[in-house]
Amino acid sequence: MKSIPSRESKRILIIANPRSPLTQQRGGVGIQGGYRINWYPHQNKNRRKQQSLLHSGWNSFTRFSSLGSPWVLKTFIQRIQPDLIHVHYAYQGLDTLLLARFKPLMVTVMGGDILPDQGFHGFRKWMVKKLLDAADVITSKSQFLDETLNRIGPYADKIRRVTWGIDTKRFRPGLDVTFLRRKWNIQPEDLVFFCPRICHPFYNQHVIIEAFADHLHRAEAGHKAKLIFSELGADEAYRRRLRNLVDELKLTEHVRFVGVIPHSEMPLYFNLADTMVAIPPSDGIPQSLYEAMGCGTLPILGNLPQYQELIQDGVNGKLVRVGEIPALSEAMDWVAAHKEHRKATALLNRQHIMEVANKEVQDNLVNSIYDKLLEE
């Protein structure tokens, strides 16, 4: 029987945004499996545990022209001689075409890279298809993304279901959130709605604010509610617009803009919240949905087919027509009126996440895919 070289002798090159907490976690999975991991581009010299080489010309070269990026990447690849390249997000600018020439190649799609109403159009569409055609394995988080991929090309044989999962020991119910309540002046009896997505017009936070205002106007006497916004990746003009809207609607007492939340604190915010609200017009399966469900937070989401793989309207969450203020406001009313249902849903969603999005299981799956590619 042919022997398989040890993982320690194999080097995997991760092509991903090194500043994203999401890709930092995913890129580090190989390290847990014993592989040698390098990053490109590499911008955090203090990244713990992760081995990396930084091409000295990268920062200065790209100041002049992104046209030189493929040359820098090619030099980098020649320098470290990776045994496998794993690309996270199928569009990497001009580097995409260079990466399509490498074998073995693994590509993780995230949604925006392959959805026509987001990034999959024009010249990018052609480049992404080249990369997907060349990939030996494509990982997808959902049936919806599988179907999207198969409309682009005949990829069924190389698609692998990887949800990546969440750390279910961190993202769990029952965490003490006393200090957050004090910090943001939120009382235990308040009904808390939480919007964890990027602060950008695409995510329709202005619609959430207007629906929340309508909900408060119809609420029973004595009803208290708070609406929390993350300011991750905030578009400054849009952030000002949201704050002005809060002032105009006289919601200052009820709305909290909490800045950029460290990922280490996200389990606490999901425990603080009764409901997560996210209504973009298009999406993949966001990690924040797994995190919310793992913590027992009931989701209110846009009625997108990809969300329907996890959420049944009125059973373990609410699905609303995207962009329609009355529909979202009525969903908020429903959440306020079904306290006992929220408690039962928390257990149901937690159990489902343990089955489909347990990070430990998913990490082992990714490393087994690496093993298979390198063995072949």
The reported pLDDT for the residue numbered 333 is 95
CATH class name, domain 178-356: alpha beta
State the chain's mean pLDDT as an integer. 90
Q: What is the dihedral of CA 124, 125, 128, 132, to 10 degrees?
A: 180
What is the residue whose two structure tokens read 């279901």?
Answer: 161
Segments of the chain assigned to CATH 3.40.50.2000? 7-165+358-375, 178-356
* pLDDT level of residue 66 (50, 70, 90 thresholds): low
Question: What does the alpha-carbon distance between residue 114 and residue 153 come to, in Å, rounded to a whole number?
Answer: 11
Q: Can you name the CATH fold of 7-165+358-375?
A: Rossmann fold (3.40.50)
**E strand or H helix that includes residue 336:** helix 325-337
The CA distance from 242 to 171, in Å, is 29
pLDDT tens readout for residues 334-352: 999 999 999 899 999 999 9
Least Cα distance to 199 among 257, 246, 114 occurs for 257
- pTM score, two decimals? 0.85
CA–CA separation, 236 and 116 (whole Å)? 26
Give the integer Cα–Cα distance in Å for 265 and 187.
19
Place of tokens 């490498």: 102
pLDDT, tens digit, 9 for 90 and up, residues 195-234? 999 999 999 999 999 999 999 988 764 578 999 999 999 9
**Taking the CB of residue 105, how many other CB atoms lie within 10 A of it?**
21
Contact predicate 35/277, CB 8 Å? no
How far apart are the C-alpha atoms of 322 and 222, rounded to whole Å?
29
